[in-house]
A and B are shown apart, each in its own frame.
Chain A
Amino acid sequence: DAGVTQSPTHLIKTRGQQVTLRCSPKSGHDTVSWYQQALGQGPQFIFQYYEEEERQRGNFPDRFSGHQFPNYSSELNVNALLLGDSALYLCASSWDRDTEAFFGQGTRLTVV
């Protein structure tokens, strides 16, 4: 079992650009959640996808959007990047919402 895989591992973007991050969930999991983790902080919930729909959303602006595909993999898109968007972006998968989530290794996004 490959667990949760994310790509790319590192990314450098310029302010104002757009970025797409990808996540493949753990085998057997159907729910994908995305988190943003700033240095020295705990992960902050962005949104959760289930059955290809956004089911829950945290306190993030509309610049953050996502998608879930029929194979349960997911993408996180961020438009009009700001310097403050620099962080470790984590994907977590679970079996529905009531079970523990397993995290990928994250994508380190740096906005310059």
Chain B
Amino acid sequence: EDQVTQSPEALRLQEGESSSLNCSYTVSGLRGLFWYRQDPGKGPEFLFTLYSAGEEKEKERLKATLTKKESFLHITAPKPEDSATYLCAVQEGPTGGYQKVTFGTGTKLQVIP
């Protein structure tokens, strides 16, 4: 069965303490991997799309990387405002055909001042 697994479930960091969040997937025909940030009670906010192994994207203190089996979201020198749940989603399926999007359960990040 296709799966998207995020780890850890929760992460507590001191302000400035860099770390990485992991998203591992077992799907065939990957079309894209998405990272979102979600604040409590709000909809997910789009961060990155990665399409192929070896691809990297950066935005402020965040950097996303992709391999054939997993993606990492690296957070460099985090600030308290980076506290949120980070969701990973995988899109699979043939061009022009049924495409399935599967979300992981997220990593809840707390950054302590």
Q: A40-B105, A42-B105, A44-B103 are in contact. Are A103 and B98 (CB under 8 A)?
A: no
Give the CA-CA distance A101 to B35 in the complex, in Å: 11
Any B CB within 8 A of the CB of A95: no
User: B-side binding surface: helix, strand, loop or mixed?
Assistant: strand
Q: Which of B78-113 contact A (CB under 8 A)?
A: 87, 89, 95, 98-106
Complexed CA–CA distance, A16 and B101 (Å): 30
* Given known A-B contacts A98-B31, A100-B34, A100-B49, A42 and B43 have beta carbons under 8 A apart: no
Interchain CB contact under 8 A, B41 and A108: yes
**B45 — which chain A residues lie within 8 A by C-beta?**
103
> A97 with B43: in contact, given A42-B87, A42-B105 (CB under 8 Å)?
no
B43 nearest CB across to chain A (Å): 4
Among B32, B44, B104, contact of A103 (Cβ-Cβ < 8 Å): B44
User: Are A43 and B42 touching (Cβ within 8 A)?
Assistant: no
Tell me the bound Cα distance from A102 to B34 in angstroms: 11
The contact string, 1 if C-beta is below 8 Å from chain B, for chain A 79-112, is 0000000001010100001111111111010000
CB distance from A36 to the nearest CB of B (A): 11
B105 touches A103 (CB 8 A): no
A4 interface residue per 8 A CB criterion: yes
Contacts of A45 in B (CB 8 A): 100-102
Minimal beta-carbon separation of A21 from chain B (angstroms): 13
A17 at the B interface (CB under 8 A)? no
Chain A residues, Cβ within 8 Å of B87: 42-43
| A97 touching B99 in the complex, CB below 8 Å, given contacts A90-B43, A102-B46 | yes
